[in-house]
Amino acid sequence: MFFKRAVKLLFLFLYFSMCCEFNTLEAQVYNNEDIFVGDNSILYFGTNSFNFGTGTIATSRTKLSSGVLSFSDDTIWLGANERHFIDGYAQTLSKSAFILPIGQSGIYAPIQVISSSSNGVEAAYFRTSPNSIGSVFDTLVSSVSSVEYWDIKSVGVAAAISLSWRSSSAVSDLTSARLDALTIVGWDGLAWVAIPSIVDKNSILGETSTLVSGSISTNTVVDLSAYSAFSLGATVKKPKIPALEDIKLTAYIHSNQLFLESSLPITGLTIYNLMGKQISAQDLKGEFKHDQPFNYPESLYIAKIELDNGAYFLTKKVINTN
């Protein structure tokens, strides 16, 4: 296996020397002919810069033995775009933020990696539905992209990752036009689960993130070995929790009858006298209006009212004048 891989690396070096232009004054490399990195092979850039030229760059996509184009900590790339990118697996050995210029089928879909180790993180973009991996959603996920996913992998390395999107990602449809619902999702072997993440105000490519294009980043490092694929998804819409001052609640006593009315369901009622002694307590059915007999002496009372199954407890002073 070692001899076979060494032969492939030698072949790649000779081929690369013939098909690529080296500028010794500027120490730059241009790919002006097509490059392909086969199974179990690595094309490594150790220093200086790599410029995307007129040729194509692709690697094998065999999951367990893919070819890889690898960038060291001292290498930068220039000129990747919708027409020129790595169609297959790219790797970074840097611990600093590094954008992997990957894509497929005419789609440029870069990601950013901030690795916790220099052991290397590699990734490829797949322009195909993540349903081919699995269709089960975690309870916090309402939908997952139907057009794309990324294979991001490393051995024993955690990393913060940022995924990009473009008009063809259809993020507006995915999230029902709610950019705040967008999340990174990962396939953990059983389901697509939401990974804590936030939309980047300024994307990894320097533009303002919108429903049309942008990027989203994990809140912290992710154990890459815990997921076999990553994609874009939407979180379950959470009901808006009203502010305390926005809740409307009325409570009063008239003709020995206690009346309650609220903008939230009334689910419990406890009555106290002025000494703080509890004189009654009951569960209610969650109606917005409630009335009941109030046969207690004339005095001031405190009504503690539970709303929305314990989401709120409000108190009201009520006076019984009979």
219 and 107 assigned to the same domain:
yes
pLDDT digits over 247-288, tens only?
Answer: 999 999 999 999 999 999 999 999 999 889 999 999 998 899
Say whether both 63 and 135 belong to one domain.
yes
Shared domain for 200 and 286, answered yes or no, is no
Q: Which residues contact 10 (CB under 8 A, 6 or more apart)?
A: none
Q: Are residues 116 and 210 in the same domain?
A: yes
Asked if 305 contacts 316 with a C-beta cutoff of 8 angstroms, the reply is yes
* Residue 290: domain span: 244-320
Token readout for 234 is: 């939407």
| 182 and 277 housed in the same domain | no
Do 256 and 194 belong together in one domain?
Answer: no
Number of structural domains the chain divides into: 2
Sequence letter at residue 164: S
User: Lowest-pLDDT range, 54-63, 101-110, 227-236?
Assistant: 54-63
Judged by DSSP in three states, 22 sits in: strand
Same-domain pairing of 106 and 73: yes
Classify strands 229-235 and 182-187 as parallel, antiparallel or unpaired: antiparallel
Taking alpha carbons only, the member of 7, 218, 239 closest to residue 113 is 218
Query: Does residue 262 share a domain with residue 186?
Result: no
- What token pair was written down for 236? 């379950």
Out of 185, 213, 235, pick the residue that ends a domain. Answer: 235
Q: Are residues 176 and 273 in the same domain?
A: no
Final residue before a domain boundary, out of 235, 261, 291: 235
Q: pLDDT tens digit string along 185-210?
A: 999 999 999 999 999 999 999 999 99
| CATH number of residue 311's parent domain | 2.60.40.10
Edge-first strand listing for the sheet containing 20-23: 20-23, 28-31, 48-52, 75-78
State residue 3's pLDDT score.
39
Residue 228 has a pLDDT of: 95
State the first-to-last Cα distance of the chain, in angstroms, to the nearest integer: 96
Backbone angles phi, psi at 245, to 5 degrees: -70, -15
pTM of the model: 0.70
Euclidean distance between CA atoms 235 and 178, whole angstroms = 10
pLDDT of 32-69, one tens digit each? Answer: 788 999 999 999 988 788 899 888 999 999 988 999 99
Among the listed residues 195, 247, 204, the one whose alpha carbon sits nearest the alpha carbon of residue 102: 204
